Structure 1
Amino acid sequence: MKRLLSTLLAGLALLPMQAAAKERADILIRHATIVDVEHARLIPDQAVATTGDRIVAVGGDAEVAKQWSAKRTVDAKARYLIPGLWDMHVHFGGGPDLIEENRALLPLYVAHGITTVRDASGDLPLQVLGWRDEIAKGALFGPTLLSSGPKIEGIKPIWKGTIETGSEADVDAAVARLKTLNVDFVKITDSTLKPDLFLHALRQVRGAGLRASGHIPMALTVGQAVDAGISSIEHLGYAFKAGAEDEAAIAADFAAGRIDRAEANRRINASFDRDTAMASYRRFVEKGVFVTPTLNGGRIIAYLDQDDHKNDDYLAYIGPRLRATYTWRVERAAQADATAIAARHDQIEREAAVLPLLQAAGVTIMAGTDAGFLNSFNYPGIGLHDELGLYTRYGLTPAQALSAATRAGPAWFGTLDRYGSIDRGKAADMVLLDRNPLEDIAATRAIHAVILRGSVQDRAALDRMLAETRAKVAAWNARP
């Protein structure tokens, strides 16, 4: 009997490894072509296993499949697997009456492969912070939401939903309140905020261990904001301003009331200098300052004379009251004569031309759309793909554009250890594409499936999201 038992044990020891119990995952994606965004290369015939919201294994398909089984297996059929997309500049707002229409935007981001958005503040800041927490708990469906909460502003600003400050003590109290709200970063704007308080706010935010983004007052140089601690510059126009040889004199004249904004902008255009710009951009790199171009929104307004967007199919996904917020920019643009329209075209082209200069200097470019209320026809979801298309149009490679939408956001938040690539231990946020985005960035639109926090949303599920949003908007349109 003992001899028989020994023989059996010896036989078991010689069984091939395949017979050993496999580890169990929730999802197993097989035969995928992983897009290594960091190194701009493709890795064919890979498998990815996920458990919960984390990737637990990545490797050659045969090897991973030998070790792992799963509740659900997805055959990628050599499709292209990229990290989830991030939109690093969005807005929710329009007042309390628009809460439901804003909430309906959340699935639009997921349906377009966007797994994380950075809310740069509107006039519903506390509502958005609540959504952020509900999404994190699984009580609300949507992309991971990172928010600044209410903006820091001056007294009686044009923007609603802000914390008004008129002294250093007010700024200090504002930063303390934002810490209490557990915001993910701080947004500072300049409609009425005094320049000295703007700089004080940047220093206080940095001292509180938070990142700051914002609009830089004309009475300051961009370099002053950089030195004070701004972490991301929102909108490409500020990066363009940093390339003006006479920027310091322009800022001083504006601060003293000797020139208005129009004259300041004319002088900025006249004194833009490539060498000055490159020196400024290298300073951005030294200070770890990122740039969010938001080109799409600016281009839409600049060229409204050529495309009024009245027949855009995507309007069917935007609630009627949100659509109504587009009117103010449209009406302002309609007042322009032929000279003003030509100047508008010229300005956006001048600003877009600095995009490859930023890239050459080593500045990290973050993809962000400025989509949301007020910003006419700059649509949540699809707007990011439009933004990426503009990056390649104005000089970036598809790989650089893709990095701006997958790695730059996590790098800014200091979370590249969890996001931005498809590796073991990283977040299970991925997008499966039908085409290769390293050849053509428009491939990011060809979405076969989205994996959001470890949950597979296949093409049918994504289409349902779109259909449900469209049906909501149709119902709202039918209201008296």
Structure 2
Amino acid sequence: MMRSITKSDNILILTFLFLSILSCSKKEKERYDIVISNINLIRIEDGNVTKKTVYINDGTIVKLETIDSVDHYIAENRIDGTGKFLLPGFWDNHIHLRGGDSLIKENKNLLPLFIANGITTVRDAGGDLTSEILRWRKEIENNSLIGPTIYTSGPKLDGANATWAGSLVVESSEDIIKALDSLERIPSDFVKIYDSRISRENYLEVLKQATERGMISSGHMPFTVELNEAVDSGIGAIEHLYYILKGCSDNEKEITQAIINKELTFWNAMDGLISTYSDSTAQKTFQLLKNNNTYVVPTLHIGNILSYLDEVDHSNDPYLKIIGKGIIKTYDGRIKRALTASDEAKKSRKNLNTFFIRLTKSLQDADVKLLAGSDSGAYNSYTYSGISLHNELEAMVNAGLSPLKALQTSAYNGSKYLKKDKITGTIEIGKVSDLVILNSNPLQNIKYTRDIYRVIKGNEIYDPQEITKQYNCSECFTFKN
């Protein structure tokens, strides 16, 4: 028989329940380094916007919730995201840190500009400051220097008497082995090939050996090479659109042979490439790029700048107040060439630029993966670090891309190209907390990428206005719709 419950039993049960409730009430609250509450999270994969609270510990996103349970946690830093919009921190997928010993300090002073513009990651596409860049990377990681994560190619690969200082000369298969060994020891994050002096054979051999080693590659392409040869040899990304245009010409083989025979030069070939552009050939080329997962970096903004150097007066650009005088001096070469070019050359350059704008839209329509890159840095006249990435995104939208597609060319595609997408590029649990908080929705207007409230890099929270005080140029950072 079952024993009946006595008064003493009831007291014991009530006591147990009371103690259980008391224990739960005294349970220690969860602790987080940063909590961003009630923010409009833009899912960069598809543009879906949902209200979320984002929890961050040790530079990593650890929880995403719909409701902000403020009574259930303690946050060292809490950001009210009401009415604001959250994106992965922007990536500038083509910059240059270069210029030799005399410009080391001026290059270093550029780094906070990227963070002030919401850019938490950059891809340095080759230069002559590799040892300094590696030092800056450590300082940024240790939070002793404000700046973005830097993925670098280290020195470029080219032939003898290369255009750019610091390039590794490859004149034989043995040179290529030594050069790639050197890059792996750095270690570089990708191989960058330039086209000023490298031979057709060595160019293709670099790609072949880099691919066999599992190294990511990108570069220009000598016009002695056909585009399909570069793609088939494993090039990971093609910098600039000249080489895409070449692969869309019905006369690519003939023009390539004329270049080999020295009957044509790079620039002399452009008008012929445009006139022989074929949509059917272009579609085959686009499909080849897509099938091989080859990325394309249009660099439209610098194209717009350089094509109109003879017409646009940049002397009152606000950024000239904060860019180092040594870097500004490096602008002279391109400016002089633009001003002294023949009328025919000036017209051809502008026509080519207009064609590239249309070509970018065609690439996007064909679902070729694009990367947003500014090409900012020394020698690239009036293409300023930080703000030029926003100009590039705007140029892409002006070319016909939707704001979402333009945004995807930054962190989302950039992380995939460098095979870092398991740790960054989207806002997901387990990924690094490199984030940008905007005051307005960039899906409605791409210019809103400039309307930055806060930038989060790992466990650090940056107020852009605080960073920019050191530059003493309020007009450089004032958002204008």
The verdict on a shared fold, with TM-score over 0.5 as the criterion, is yes
Equivalents in 1 of 2:242, 2:445: separation in Å? 27
**Does the CA contact (< 8 Å) of 1:151 and 1:162 recur in 2?**
yes
Question: Which of 462, 465, 469 does residue 463 from structure 1 map onto?
Answer: 465
Give secondary structure in 1 for the equivalent of 2:215.
coil
Equivalents in 2 of 1:100, 1:169: separation in Å? 36
Question: Which of 128, 133, 144 does residue 128 from structure 1 map onto?
Answer: 133
Equivalents in 2 of 1:94, 1:342: separation in Å? 31
Question: Which of 435, 444, 458 does residue 440 from structure 2 map onto?
Answer: 435
Question: Which of 211, 225, 232 does residue 227 from structure 1 map onto?
Answer: 232
Shift of residue 342, structure 1, vs aligned partner? 2.0
Shift of residue 19, structure 1, vs aligned partner? 6.3
**Does the CA contact (< 8 Å) of 1:135 and 1:145 recur in 2?**
no
Q: Name the structure 2 match of 1:248.
A: 253
Q: Name the structure 2 match of 1:158.
A: 163
- The question of 1:29 aligning with 2:63 is answered no
Question: What is the percent sequence identity of the aligned residues?
Answer: 34
Residue identity opposite 1:374 in structure 2: Y
**Does the CA contact (< 8 Å) of 1:366 and 1:408 recur in 2?**
yes
**Does the CA contact (< 8 Å) of 1:32 and 1:76 recur in 2?**
yes
Given the two structures, how large is their TM-score scaled by the length of structure 2? 0.93
Residue identity opposite 1:77 in structure 2: T
Equivalents in 1 of 2:404, 2:65: separation in Å? 22
Moved more, 205-214 or 380-389: 205-214
Residue identity opposite 1:58 in structure 2: L
Give the aligned length.
466
Residue identity opposite 1:11 in structure 2: F
Shift of residue 277, structure 1, vs aligned partner? 1.1
Give secondary structure in 2 for the equivalent of 1:61.
coil
Q: Name the structure 2 match of 1:306.
A: 311
- The question of 1:184 aligning with 2:186 is answered no
**Does the CA contact (< 8 Å) of 2:270 and 2:352 recur in 1?**
no
| Residues 157/47 of structure 1: CA separation in 2 closer, same or farther (3 Å cut) | same
Q: Name the structure 2 match of 1:205.
A: 210
Equivalents in 2 of 1:102, 1:240: separation in Å? 33
Q: Name the structure 1 match of 2:478.
A: none
Equivalents in 1 of 2:398, 2:25: separation in Å? 50
**Does the CA contact (< 8 Å) of 1:429 and 1:451 recur in 2?**
yes
Shift of residue 318, structure 1, vs aligned partner? 0.3
Q: Which runs of 5+ in 2 are unaligned?
A: 1-7, 474-481
Equivalents in 2 of 1:452, 1:430: separation in Å? 6
What whole-Å deviation, never above 9, does each CA across 1:282-301 have from its counterpart, x for those lacking one? 11111110011111111101
Question: Which of 343, 349, 356 does residue 348 from structure 2 map onto?
Answer: 343
Equivalents in 2 of 1:171, 1:218: separation in Å? 20
**Does the CA contact (< 8 Å) of 2:53 and 2:65 recur in 1?**
yes
Given the two structures, how large is their TM-score scaled by the length of structure 1? 0.93
| Residues 16/332 of structure 1: CA separation in 2 closer, same or farther (3 Å cut) | farther
Equivalents in 1 of 2:299, 2:15: separation in Å? 68
Q: Name the structure 1 match of 2:68.
A: 62
**Does the CA contact (< 8 Å) of 2:98 and 2:378 recur in 1?**
yes
- The question of 1:110 aligning with 2:86 is answered no
| Residues 215/39 of structure 1: CA separation in 2 closer, same or farther (3 Å cut) | same
Shift of residue 6, structure 1, vs aligned partner? 4.8
Q: Name the structure 1 match of 2:321.
A: 316
Equivalents in 2 of 1:18, 1:87: separation in Å? 48
Shift of residue 137, structure 1, vs aligned partner? 3.8
Residue identity opposite 2:242 in structure 1: G
Question: Which of 340, 355, 358 does residue 353 from structure 1 map onto?
Answer: 358
Equivalents in 2 of 1:423, 1:402: separation in Å? 17
Q: Which runs of 5+ in 1 are unaligned?
A: 472-480
RMSD of aligned residue pairs (Cα, Å): 1.8
Q: Name the structure 2 match of 1:476.
A: none
What whole-Å deviation, never above 9, does each CA across 1:114-152 have from its counterpart, x for those lacking one? 000000012222222232233234443210011001111
Equivalents in 1 of 2:420, 2:178: separation in Å? 28
Shift of residue 156, structure 1, vs aligned partner? 1.4
Shift of residue 107, structure 1, vs aligned partner? 0.1
Q: Name the structure 2 match of 1:478.
A: none
Q: Name the structure 2 match of 1:289.
A: 294
